[in-house]
Structure 1
Amino acid sequence: MTGLLIGYARVSTNDQDLTGQKNALVALGVAPEKTFTDQGLTGANRARPGLREALAACRDGDTLVVTKLDRLARSLRDAKDIVDELTRREVKLSIGGSVHDPTDPVGRILFNVLAMVAEFEADLIRARTREGMAVAKAKGRLRGKQPKLCSAPGLMEVLDPLGRG
């Protein structure tokens, strides 16, 4: 591979850790200072600052490196849009060390299959989440969004001296 290796890593929630992906990118040859990240943003959201910076850092002959395709995009359309943009700019895409070749029919079909699997996986996660929420609601455990303010000891008595709070 000629040019620079530009890394991109993403996790969907703030509670998840990027360390595994960052280590994998280093093992794939990406310098830590050339790795861009997004934390707490889903792959379905294209407005990701780290992705925008990674794409902006890529120049003709560079390679954008991701550990898995689902870290880059969670829909077939979004994955294809990103690859089309990279191809126009003559930037390669490496997925877990395998360089995607958009001019090769086998490479295109494998990429499309991977993108469809990533989209399918995201759909399954959404369906399981909805099912879990419905079960929790039926059991009375899902009460909606919790208040952002918490009461300090004795505060409720001050606000409602009759103890109705």
Structure 2
Amino acid sequence: MALIGYARVSTVGQENGLETQKHFLEEAGCKRIFFEKVTGTSTIKRNELKEAIQFLDKGDTLIVTKIDRLARSIIDLHNIVKELNEKEINVRFLKENIEFQAGENNSSLQTLLFNILGSFAQFERDIIVERTGEGRERAKKQGKHMGRPSKNKKAIEKSLKLYNERESNGMSVNDISKITGVPRSTIYAELKKR
């Protein structure tokens, strides 16, 4: 009857969140913890979650710090918990203080609370996506550049000048790229524009 932990953050820059989850999972008695850096909306790419589920045996308990660390969609949340319960694996959420015992009839109140908290996790994620989209649109309307910052204009102009003078200077596009720091693809893209 092992206690196995699962910790997840959405992006690579959130390593602190993994450390915090690790602390709580170890405090809860987890001897093995699976760590993942991937969005919670995709169960397809969540290899560590799949490994954790395969690692668990009948009677074990999967412990997660919060419901939204296991899934950000109510459908995925139900599917994961159902799969675990069918394998007779318990699921415990520390922050919400909910545990689903495999093979037992969990209380109606517990199921209601689980559904409400799962819905809030999905709602929170939907709001984040909506606000991000609105912010992106607002920035575009204000003329702000979206995506990667463009290379320094002076460096691009210098690379184009060297390109146009390549008969006299004997430089290849690779040479120009090394000297100016402007990638070959950018040089060709700028030439195509003009």
Report whether the alignment pairs 1:111 with 2:114. yes
Q: Percent identity?
A: 38
Q: Which residue of 1 aligns with 2:80?
A: 82
- In the other structure, the counterpart of 2:39 is 42
Higher helix share: 2
Amino acid at match of 1:7: G
Q: How does 1:106-145 map to 2 (within 5 A)?
A: 106-145=109-148
Give, in angstroms, the shift of residue 142 of structure 1.
3.3
CA contact (8 A) 1:11 1:38 kept: yes
Confirm or deny: 8 A CA contact 1:133 1:142 kept in the other structure: no
Determine helix, strand or coil for the equivalent of 1:7.
strand
Provide the rounded CA distance (Å) in 1 between the counterparts of 2:161 and 2:24. Answer: 55
Q: Which of the residues 62, 65, 77 maps onto 2:63?
A: 65
Q: Could you report, residue by residue, the CA deviation over 1:31-61 in whole angstroms, capped at 9, with x for unpaired residues?
A: 2xx100111x111010201111111111100
- C-alpha change, 1:53 and 1:156, in structure 2 (3 Å) is farther
Deviations 1:45-84 (A, max 9, x none): 1020111111111110000000000000001100000011
SS in 1 for 2:59: coil
The normalised TM-score by structure 2 is 0.73
- Compared with structure 1, are the counterparts of its residues 154 and 119 closer, same or farther at alpha carbon in structure 2 (3 Å cutoff)? closer
Q: Deviation of residue 158 (structure 1)?
A: 4.2
Letter in 2 for 1:43: G
Question: What RMSD in Å do the two structures reach over aligned CA positions?
Answer: 2.5
The structure that has the greater radius of gyration is 2
Bigger shift: residues 93-102 or 81-90:
93-102
In the aligned structure 1, how far is the partner of 2:143 from the partner of 2:158?
Answer: 27
Secondary structure, in 3 states, of the residue corresponding to 1:45?
Answer: coil
Looking at structure 2, the residues matched to 124 and 154 of structure 1 have their Cα atoms a distance apart, in angstroms, of 40
* Matched residue, 1:20: 20
Amino acid at match of 2:40: G
TM-score by length of 1: 0.85
Residue 111 of structure 1: SS of its match in structure 2? helix
Cα distance in 2 for residues equivalent to 1:77 and 1:137: 34
Unaligned runs of 5+ in 1: none
In the other structure, the counterpart of 1:29 is 29
- Residue 4 of structure 1, CA deviation: 0.4
Amino acid at match of 2:90: K
For structure 2, the 5+ residue unaligned runs are 165-186
SS at 2:137's partner residue?
helix
Q: 1:10 aligns with which of 8, 31, 35?
A: 8
Greater alpha carbon shift after TM alignment, 62-71 vs 107-116: 107-116
Deviation of the 1:98 alpha carbon: 3.4
Q: Name the aligned partner's letter for residue 28 of structure 1.
A: A
Shift of residue 103 of structure 1?
Answer: 2.0
